[in-house]
Structure 1
Amino acid sequence: MSLLFTPYDLAGLTLPNRIVMAPMTRSRAATGAPDAQTALYYAQRASAGLLITEGAPVSQEGTGYLYTPGIYTDTQEAAWAKVTQAVHDRGGRIFVQLWHVGRVSHTSLQPDGSAPVSASAQRAEGAFSFAIGPDGKPGQQPASMPRALLTTELARITDNFVTAARRAMRAGFDGVEIHGANSYLFEQFLNANSNQRTDRYGGSIENRMRFMLETIDAVASEIGMNRVGVRISPFGRLSGMQGYDDEAETWLAVAKALETRQPAYVHLSDQLTIGGEAMPQGFPAQFCKTFTGTLIAAGGFTQETGEQALKDGALDLIAYGKPFIANPDLVERMQNGWPIATAPREAFYGGTGASGYTDFPTWDKEKDNQND
């Protein structure tokens, strides 16, 4: 029997299968809030065991890319409620990914054109933000020089996450995923190169973990730890992140800290398929010996490799990203051995209306079109 299509108990939330739609930035929210196309996009993919939304900034300060749907205003909250309703109407389950990009941003996106914030005043070398350029047009811009957050400011950002989580639950989400991966703010604190602080949030592994763990605990106090997922990318190298001496020890300490908390899940992001590097061979096995709760991984899985990972016992759920873009019925295609479509790269980010977003057909419709 295929494990991919068996039910799974996610901290009391029953998933009909073990296929997760990974969070994918689509840059489709022209107003900064989800719209009817957003609701349709997620509803079309509701047969996944769990949907995790694209990153939703928890504040304007946390925004690093144009046209990403935030979750920090009443308008955004109301718009997301229509998305969750559409998903639930089709029997789906959906978590929202809560996001603060930190230094991977641009002054044109920040309040009053101010500098982005980070653990330290250290530029993200080679990083780009989708922002407004000097010519007044949207495009890829080098990330701006950040300023270091004051110790007294960190509670404010934690509160942004708590408020966003509260909004998420009012909007009908089944839970939230705290984005601690892919070079964004929490990873900027975890990484000993990007974090040069001398206060209690810098230096030792314990100190560098503190900000993320305090935020996880605060969000869990608001909505329950069983409704909080955490995404991390051990050994991440995106957007100027560099290796450091106690890197493996840091990530295993994170695993140990999460083991004591038992969030709904931990979501490992392997960056090989998104322009980064793969985690060292054997590290995921080390991680899952330390963290024994529900483990999801994303990183170029096929149906066969996902199935094998479940059989090996290394993972509980398998996340697929790009295949969901062109295959709203990816679960059904896998289950029935139907062909998997491939989306053109120009469909990945941006655009308006249905084109390259909600106009990809299910296999039944695709087959009918071929027979016309």
Structure 2
Amino acid sequence: MSDTHLTDVKTHDTSNHLLFTPLKVGNVLLQHRIVMAPMTRYRADDDHIPTDMITLYYAQRASIWNKEQIAAWKKIVDAVHARGSFIFLQLWALGRYAEPDVLKREAENAGLPTDAFPYVSASNIPAKTWDGKTLDVCPRPLSLEEIDEYVRDYAQAAQNAIEAGFDGVEINNANGYLLDQFLQDVSNVRQDQYGGSIEKRSLFPLNVLDAIVSRIGASRTSIRLSPWNEYQGMRMADPIPTFSYITSEIRKRYPDLAYLHFVEGKRPNDSNDFARAIWKEGREVNDNNKREQAVFLSASKHDRESAFTYAEQGDVVVFGKWFLSNPDLPRRIKEDIPLNPYDYNTFYTKKNPSGYADYTFASS
């Protein structure tokens, strides 16, 4: 179990602090700058369709490839909107961090050949576990035709999300999953147009971005990046040149993107200030000085004090674990109310309601 305080903090005038002022993100106007991170919770049913429990979970906090999933997500989105909140759907693919046995089982459940969902990545480099052990199964590189198919699938999923009522989508190019596997040289040793130079390694993620923007528009599109992530065998010797390039390309192509989302590093010298500078330079506020034109989300291990600090430099602050156990987290931060403790043991319990939508709200 966790502590019930984010940290010992200074006193803040929360009524006038930037953290609790409105901000336009894409097509929506947020009333504060505290947002909930995308998180895996394993509560959907066996067909990956969201359940009533998930509707309650997201409504409290105010997979999408078929019509049944679109309909189920629409119910959730409607519940979130009814509370005056907004929700983006994160789009991602596992790549080499998928489980081959699960891929086979999914194919069988769908009535397809067992190799219908292949175990793939940018290159034939095994992934690593969360504790650094190399997996004993090796992915095969995606073919050029398969890459094109993924691009089309991302675009279709984005369109499905908008059909379900989501306010936008976030492309997951972070934390060692498929697009990140193409972007970073520790997992991409391809010799074709998708490997080698920074520009070539960035091509697949940028093609996905282009396809989604062409389908739903830049103001409904965002992307998440993690230069300093070490999980799943990632982290380049020097990630700054690669992530500077892709940030520059995103800004050049889509300056009106809904937002750019970066995961903060854990080492003392891991800083995303290089990306902030590229993304925000010259467009901190609009003409009437009411909001940032370039919205930048900062995620990973934030506490109450860091939320105020990062908001003061113009960031939107992303919380994960604390939002799981505190559906009213923004209010608790604003009023400095002690937090419900979270329980790691309930984070990934499949279809189990315990530790999911049963946390209490602070009393009035």
* TM-score normalized with structure 1 length: 0.82
**Residue from 29, 32, 54 that aligns with 1:14:** 29
Report Cα offsets for 1:250-297 as digits up to 9, x if no partner. Answer: 11111111111222111111253xxxxx4834x322211111221001
- Output the CA distance in 2 between the equivalents of 1:358 and 1:335: 22
Pairing 1:1-372 to 2, within 5 Å after superposition: 1-31=16-46, 32-46=48-62, 70-110=63-103, 111=107, 112-114=113-115, 115-126=118-129, 142=135, 144-244=137-237, 247-260=239-252, 261-262=254-255, 263-270=257-264, 272=266, 278=267, 280-281=269-270, 283-292=271-280, 293-311=294-312, 313=313, 315-364=314-363
Match of 1:135 in 2: none
Secondary structure, aligned partner of 1:229: strand
Alpha-carbon distance in 2 for matches of 1:79, 1:187: 29
1:65 is aligned to none
| Alpha-carbon contact 2:120-2:141 (below 8 Å) kept | yes
- Higher relative contact order (Cα pairs below 8 Å, separated by 6+ residues): 2
Name the CA distance, whole Å, in 1 between partners of 2:23 and 2:213: 22
Name the CA shift for 1:102/1:24 in 2 (closer, same or farther; >3 Å).
same
Contact between 2:33 and 2:311, CA under 8 Å: does it hold in 1? no
Distance in 2 (CA, whole Å) between partners of 1:117 and 1:351 is 25
CA separation in 1, counterparts of 2:27 and 2:179? 27
Q: Is the 8 A contact 2:27 2:167 kept in 1?
A: no
Identity of aligned residues (%): 36
Q: C-alpha deviations, 1:281-331, integer Å up to 9, x for none?
A: 4x32221111122100111111211111121x2x42000011111111111
Aligned to 2:324, what secondary structure does the other structure show? helix
| Local SS of the residue matching 2:202 | helix
Q: Distance in 2 between matches of 1:96 and 1:147?
A: 28
SS of equivalent to 1:145: coil
Give unmatched runs, 5+ long, in structure 2: 1-15, 108-112, 281-293
Task: Give the CA deviation at 1:12.
Answer: 3.3
- Aligned-residue offset at 1:125: 2.6
CA–CA distance in structure 2, aligned partners of residues 143 and 317 of structure 1: 40
Does the CA contact (< 8 Å) of 1:127 and 1:143 recur in 2? no
Q: 1:143 to 1:3 in 2, by over 3 A?
A: farther
Q: Match for 2:241: what amino acid? A: E
Q: Deviations over 1:124-166 (max 9, x none)?
A: 03359xxxxxxxxxxxx95742110011211100111111001
Q: In 2, Cα distance between the equivalents of 1:182 and 1:318? A: 18
Deviation at 1:353, TM superposition (A): 4.7
RMSD: 1.8
List runs of 5+ in structure 1 lacking aligned partners. Answer: 47-69, 129-140, 273-277, 366-372
**TM-score of the two chains, using structure 2 as the length reference:** 0.84
